[in-house]
Amino acid sequence: MRQRAAVLCGAAVIAAGTVTAVPAVPAEATATRLPQPAPTAPAAGPHWKKCATEDYPTLQCASLEVPLDHARPRGEQITLALSRVPHTARTYQGPLLVNPGGPGGSGLTLAGFVASSLPAKVAAQYDVIGFDPRGVGRSSPALDCRPGHFAPVRPDSVPDTPDVERANLARAESFADACGDKYADVLPYIDTVSAARDVDAIRAALGAEKLSYFGYSYGTYLGAVYAKLHPQRVRRLVLDSVVGPEDVWYDANLHQDLAFNDRHRAFMAWIAEHDAAYGLGTDPERVESTWYAMRAALAKRPAGGRVGASELEDTYMPGGYYNGYWPYLAEAFAAYVNDGDTGPLVEAYENFGAPDASGDNGYSVYTAVQCRDAGWPRDWDDWRDDSWGLYEKAPFLVWNNAWYNAPCAFWPTPSRQPVDVANAELPPVLLFQATGDAATPYEGGVAAHRLLGGSSLVVEEGGGNHGITLSGNDCLDEHLAAYLTDGTVPHGDGGEADAVCPALPDPKPLESKAASTSSRGSTLHGLLGFRG
C-alpha cells in the first residue's frame, strides 16, 4: 500500500463507470456460526465502459451499488468500482474475480495484469474481474482518516526513551480518533465478512451461479471467508501467499516480525555475496551491523531531511516482499556508506517507502479491516512486552510493525470474532506458498491446506517472495494454468506439499548483464500492496 518504484513499473489509473441495481444479500453472519445465505434477488448487469490503458487495451470499468450493512439490503448504499477483461473464447468458464491483498489494495488494474499474464487460451475463457473493495480507491466512500499520517520525519520507531514511546503512542491514538470522527457510521462495516458479502453481490450482478476467485496475500483470507459463507457458489479457488487463518490478526503480525528479520538477513547475505559490486564486505553479519549503523546515523541526521530511522525501515521493508528490489536498495545502501551520498537513499525512499494519497487510503482501510476483524490487546503493556521480547531476536521490523498496527489498541469500533474458515464443502482448491515468504509465513499456507478439505498445496522451495504465481516461475504457472483450464490439481503422498517447484534465482547487481528482473514479477509486485 505504498508508492511503488517508478524504475520498475507504473500502475495505470482507471476511471469507474456507472451504476447498477443492487442484489439483496443475506444478513451479516457471526464468525462462530455462519448461516446458509438466502437466495439473492436478480440484478441488472453492470454497465461496462471502456477504460483501456496502453498495457491493457481491452479493459472495461463499471460500478455496483451494495448495501453498507448487508443485514439491511434496502438501507444506505455504497459503491464498488469494478474492472473487467471480457472473455473471447467460445468456451466460457464464467467470472474470475481477482484481489491483490492489503487489506486496502486496489484490484482494478490487477484484472488486466492477470488476463494478460495467464496463457491466452486460459484467459480467453474467463471474464477476469477486478474490484476496489469497500472503502478503497475508486469505490465510494473511499477512506482517508488522517492525510499525511506517514509524512517524514516520524519519531524513531524504537521507543528507547519514554518520550519517543509517548510520541508514537500519540500518533497511533490520533489516527484512531480521526477515523472515528470522520467515519463513525462506516467503520462497523469495513471488515472482511462485509467484503465477502460484496463479492457475492458482484457474482449476482454478473448473473453467475458460481464464481471463480484468485487472491494474493490478504486476498487469500478474503477468498477463504467468502468460501465459508458461500461454499456452494465457489467454482474454483486459487490462493497465493496464504494468510495463516488461525492467526488473525495480532499474532499474524508477530509472526511476520520474525519472518521479515530472516528475509532482511537474506538480503544482507546477498549483498555480502556481491561485495565486488557494493564494497560492504563479505561477512553477512558485518554487512548487517553496517546497516544498523546507517540506521543509527539517520536517526540523528535524516537524509535529505526526509529519511530518518523509521523512513529507512519503510524503504527497506519492500525488499522483504520482493527480491527484485534488492539491487536498487543495495545501491542506495552502498552509496550512503561508501560515499556519504544521501541522494540514492532519498530516491529509494521516494520510490519504495514514501506515502501518497493512495497509501493514505490503503492504510485507512488496512486499519479499519484489521482492527474490526478480530480482537487486539487494549492494554499497551501487552504490546510493549511482546514487542520488546521479539526485538531481542528480530530487530529489523518489530517496532515499525507495532506502530503500524497500534491504532487497533485505540480503535473506536468493537472487534468481531475471526471467521473459522475450516471447510469441507468446497471443490478442489489450489494453494501456492513460498517457504521463505515474510509477509505470510509458510506455516500459514500449511494451516490453510489443513483447514480447507481437499485443497492442494504447491510450494516454491527456497523462495522468499510474496506473490509467486504469474511472476516468472513457469513451474508454478503450469499448475495454475492447468487448474484454471479444467480443475486439475496435484496430489502428493500425504506430506505438507502436493507439488514442489524450485525458486527462481536471486537477482544480480545492476551493473551485471543479468541485472533486469522478470518483467512480470516487477509488474505484479507493483500491484500487490505491502503490509498485507
Q: Which of 264, 274, 449, 466 is catalytic?
A: 466
Q: Which residue among the candidates 116, 217, 310, 358 is catalytic per the annotation?
A: 217
Phi–psi pair at 404, nearest 5 degrees? -60, -35
The half-sphere exposure of 30 on its side-chain side, counting CA atoms within 13 A, is 3
Return the amino acid letter for 433.
Q
Write out the three cell numbers for 105.
489494495
Q: What distance, in Å, lies between the first and last C-alpha atoms of the chain?
A: 8
Give the closest residue to 73 by CA, choosing from 34, 139, 23, 38.
Answer: 23
CA gap 383, 31 in Å, rounded: 25
| 306, 153 contact by CB (below 8 A) | yes
Question: In the β-sheet with 95-99, what is the strand arrangement from edge to edge?
Answer: 49-50, 60-67, 77-85, 127-132, 95-99, 211-216, 234-240, 429-434, 456-461, 499-502
Alpha-carbon separation of residue 419 from 27, 87, 285 (angstroms): 15, 33, 41
State yes or no: is 491 an active-site residue: no
Known catalytic residue: 217?
A: yes
Q: Which residues contact 239 (CB under 8 A, 6 or more apart)?
A: 215, 219, 220, 223, 224, 429, 430, 431, 432, 448
Residue in the block written with cell 468460501 = 227
Region label for 408, one of left (φ > 0), alpha (ψ between -120 and 50) or beta (otherwise): alpha
Q: Which residues contact 235 (CB under 8 A, 6 or more apart)?
A: 93, 94, 210, 211, 212, 427
456 included as an active-site residue = no
The 3-state DSSP class for residue 130 equals: strand
Q: Is the Cβ–Cβ distance between 81 and 68 less than 8 Å? A: no
Catalytic residue among 360, 437, 477, 506: 437
**Contact present, 59 and 16 (Cβ < 8 Å):** no
Judged on CB neighbours under 10 Å (0-12, 13-18, 19+), 53 is: middle
CA atoms within 13 A on the CB side of 151: 5
Q: Are strands 429-434 and 211-216 parallel, antiparallel or unpaired?
A: unpaired
User: Do residues 204 and 454 touch, judged by C-beta distance below 8 A?
Assistant: no
Write out the DSSP string of 28-57. Answer: PPPSS--PPPPPPPP-PPP--EE---SS-T
Cα–Cα dist 418/246, whole Å? 8
Active-site residues, by number, are: 217, 437, 466
